[in-house]
Every structure is written in C-alpha cells, then in structure tokens.
Structure 1
Amino acid sequence: MSNNGTDLITGFISSSVAVLLFGSNFVPLKKYDTGDGMFLQWVLCAAVWLVALVVNLVLRCPKFWPFAMVGGCIWATGNIAVVPIIKTIGLGLGILIWGSFNALTGWASSRFGWFGMDAEEVSKPVLNYIGAGLSVVRGCSLAVISGIFYGSTFVPVIYIKDHSKRNDSIYAGASQYDLDYVFAHFSGIFLTSTVYFLAYCIAMKNNPKLYPEAVLPGFLSGALWAIATCCWFIANHSLSAVVSFPIITAGPGLIAAMWGVFKFKEIQGLQNYLLMIFAFCIILTGALCTAFSKI
C-alpha cells in the first residue's frame, strides 16, 4: 500500500476515534452539579495536561515551541463558555452549534491561508466547499463564539509547520509531525485555564465555588477530550486540516445528539426526531464530500 493510502487510512481512523470521543467526553459530567463551570474547566485542563505529558514522554520530548501554546490559550478561552452552553441549550444542540462554527473557522483558515498560513489545496475543491458548507447549519451566541475560538486553536501549529520550510524563518526546521506540538499546545491550555481560575478566585474574594463530586468525572472528561485531540493532530498530519476540520467538528454533534436522545431524553417528539435525522443527513453528506475531496 502506498504511503498516501496509508495516510488516508490513518487519517480517517483517527478522525473516527476523535468524533466518537468528542461527542461523548461531556457525558460523564451530565448528572453532576458543576456550578458556574470555573472549577470544572480547571479540572478538565489539568487532566488534559497530564495526558499531554505522557504523550510528550512517549515521543521522547520533541522541541518545545512556545508559539504553539497560543492555540491552547485560544482553546481555553472558548472552553470557559462550555458549561453555560450545555446548561442552557443542552449537550447535543450545543456541540452541533459550536462544532459547526469550529468547522467553518478551522476549514477556512486552512483552505484560504488566513493568519499567515499556507493555503491548502485539495484534488476536488468543489466537493471540499460543499462538504464544509453542509457542515455549518445553525447558530446561537455563546456556542458561536466558542466555535470561533475552537476553530482557531490549530492556527499556531499549522503556522509553525508552514514556516518551517522557509530558511529565513525562526521556525526553520521545525517538525512536520503535528503530534510533536501536543505538549506545547496543551501546556497553553493548562496555563490559561489556571490564570482564569485564579482570576475567578480573586473575583470571588477567595471563596470559589468548588464541587468535589465533579472532580473524577471531570478528569475522565478531560482525558477523553485530550485523547480525541491527539487523534485530531494525527488526522491533521495525515489528511491536512482542510479535510479533517469539517469531519471532526461536524461529526461529534451526531454522537452528542444520540446521547441526548437515547440517554438524556433532551430531544423528544416525532417532529424533532425527523428534524434531527434530516440534520444528520446533511452533516453526514458534508463529511463524505470533504473526505472524497482528498481522494
């Protein structure tokens, strides 16, 4: 099998695992009181950093690029709104909405070369445009904002990789393997999360609202998210971000909505079921168009 064929298989398997875990990672927290989410987001990010530490050791500590931390800072900022989103509009709808705008921002920045990145080409651009368009179907303020932040999270890593090919760049010779940047990216997440949590403690006059029963579920949720993101890094490397973004950001909405239907009963009634199935068909068509645009 050619290297290209191996990359495609690796990329699509990684994307599938990422979709499953991203769509499920908040499930352990659903039945626990997480308050305003500030304590929870810090627990999540601590678990994320621990997974990154293990990955970094397995990879034998590749070079640490501080600029890659910026993507983690951006993600942690978007993550602040997750708990209010889930509490107000539900797990399934929340992930569908922020996933859609995550897809749009991440896909467009890679496809058109925003923020100083190299524009990425695909063999079937029309299919890629259709796939990205079908992946974006809804909108709601907090989820839209989170989605835009989430969609920008890989920009620093892709920027470093693109500029590593230029001899006059400070990033000349940087690794082309996306997973080498996981530790820096996740360190940015944990650092920013800690800053927000300390600011929250100050604002609460050193009397923050802590929820001990959410610690273990929070660690599990964070670990699932971290593993999913590692798979996303691998998918970016194997497929390119312009293909992986629409698939991985749209797909979790399907998984989360299934949890919402079969486990948490967030969606009920024949009309809502039919609407959800219609949305699934649109998202699945978008993901398939994006996938075939690479072949």
Structure 2
Amino acid sequence: MGVEQVARQQHVPVMLDRVVALLAPAIDRDVPGGTVMVDCTTGHGGHSEAVLQRVAGVRVVGIDRDPTALALAGERLAPFGERWVGVHAVYDELLDVLADQGLDHVDAVLFDLGVSSMQLDQRERGFAYAEDAPLDMRMDATTGPTAADVLNTYSAEELTRILREYGEERFAKRIAGAVVRRRQSEPFTTSAALVELLYAEIPAPARRTGGHPAKRTFQALRMEVNDELGALRRALPASLEAIGVGGRVVVESYHSLEDRLTKQVFQRATKVDVPPDLPFVPPEAEPAFRLVTRGAEQASPAEIEENPRAASVRLRAVERVRPAH
C-alpha cells in the first residue's frame, strides 16, 4: 500500500457530505467556462476529491502551506487532470494566488482549519506529544521559526499570553516560568523535555481531567509558530472579496478562537447598516452577503463516535447575494 493510500485511509474529512451540500449551490451551476472552487487547506485532498467527483463542471485550486501534503494531494487528484491545480502558499495569500491563476473571482472558498492527521502522524514534524520528537511544528518546514525557537526565546510574559490565549491553559504563568528557568541550563530541542516539564508543573488533579496535560500547550505552540489566527484574520475578508454573486465561503473550525473570528467576520458582512428608526432599508444599504448556516453547525453523535476529531468542529457558511457597492 502506497503512502498516499495510507494517508487517505487515515484521514476522513469531517462533515464531508454537509460541506459538499453547502458548496453545491455555488459550484454546481451552468456558467460559461465552468465554476471554480478554492480549497484553502488542501491537506490530503479529501474535500477536493469529493467536490471533483460529485460536481462535473467545477475546477479546484488547492492551496496548502505544507509541500508534503500538496504532493500527496497531487497524487490523489491526478486522475482529474487539469480540473485540479495545486499551489504552495498560505491561505492569506488567496488573492495573489487567484491573480496568478488569471482569475478575477471564484465561486466558492473552503477552509478546513487546524492540523491534519498526517502532520500529527509524522513524528519528525513535532506536532504530537505522544513520542519524543524535534520541537518543530511548522506546517511549512521550509521556512519560519520552530516551536523550539518560541520556547527558547520568548519572554515569560509572551509565553504566558500564547498559552492562555491559544491553549486556554489555566496554568499558563506557572508553565511559562518553568520553561524560562529550564532553558537557562538546557535549551529545548525535543518534545520529551517539554512533556516532562508539563507533568511536573500541572497539578495531579488537573492532569486527570481534560485529556493529555500537554494537549493545550502543544496546540498553543502550533498556533503561534504558524500564525494561524493572524493568517485567518487576513484570509477571511480576502475570501469574501474573492467570490462572485452566488458564491459561498464555507469554514470548518476546531478552536473557539477560530470560530469566534469566523462568526465576527460573517456577521459584519451580513449586517444591515442603517439607523434603527429607518422605516425601510434602501437597496444600496442591503448587505452584500447572507448567512447560509444558522449559527455554527456541529457533527452528529454518530459521526463523532466514528471520528472523534469531529467533536470540536464548528461549521459556518456565507453567500454573496449582490455585487460589492
């Protein structure tokens, strides 16, 4: 069995049927030249494959910052020929990618946020805490600072902030202080030393609840290393700008901060901006977008049982209903 086949078996896209159903009205349309979807987080190509299989006239531009993931997706999606093109980029470069592809707009944009199971499973990437590995955590291992760089150079205050904000870690200040003390005698290089420190600093009662004691710290480091919230903050408005009338943006989030950011951007885009005492809404004041999902949709209990990763997903979608003013 090839690497690509193993990757495909290990990673089942969360809420796949619902995601395709939300995308379908935007991409399954009879328009000159066919429709175009951007998969901003191509990963193994599971979402792209489902879309290409189920919607005959669509082309997909697949973006990923991880060259390894992009290569695997390229193998998987090769049977679709020119209907799929892979681009090595971060999704906040969306508008530049479209310009390079000669596209002035697209019909759909999909974000499936967070880290993929393939990245977690590759020991040398350092995303997982279950075994000793280099503290890397870069989604694009060709550029940028590593998790070890963060641990060895950030101040105690900076470490406390990212552990609290991105990891929602109750013992952030205590952990940050211990990290700074330890690195003075020996810099952090691999995950085992960090996991050992976390076991020592997180009190035993807290270690017995809420999953592995390293989970929150590793998540926070990963989000900091890859500037995940910063990239999303830039990418969401760009995705709204990128879609034409009838186009949709669909976002799957796995972290409360990602979902909150998505909710805020979508709410602003769909808000009617007129005085509350105005008896009618003039056409020019109508919002250019409408919410497709009511609040955030979640996976069914049956899917969560089959795929535990689905437990934290929050799914939102928005549609452009009129051109930009």
Larger Rg: 2
Whose RCO is larger (CA < 8 A, sep 6+)? 1
Q: Structure 2 length normalisation: TM-score?
A: 0.29
The TM-score with structure 1 as length reference comes to: 0.31
Structure with more helix by fraction:
1
The answer to which structure has the higher strand fraction is 2
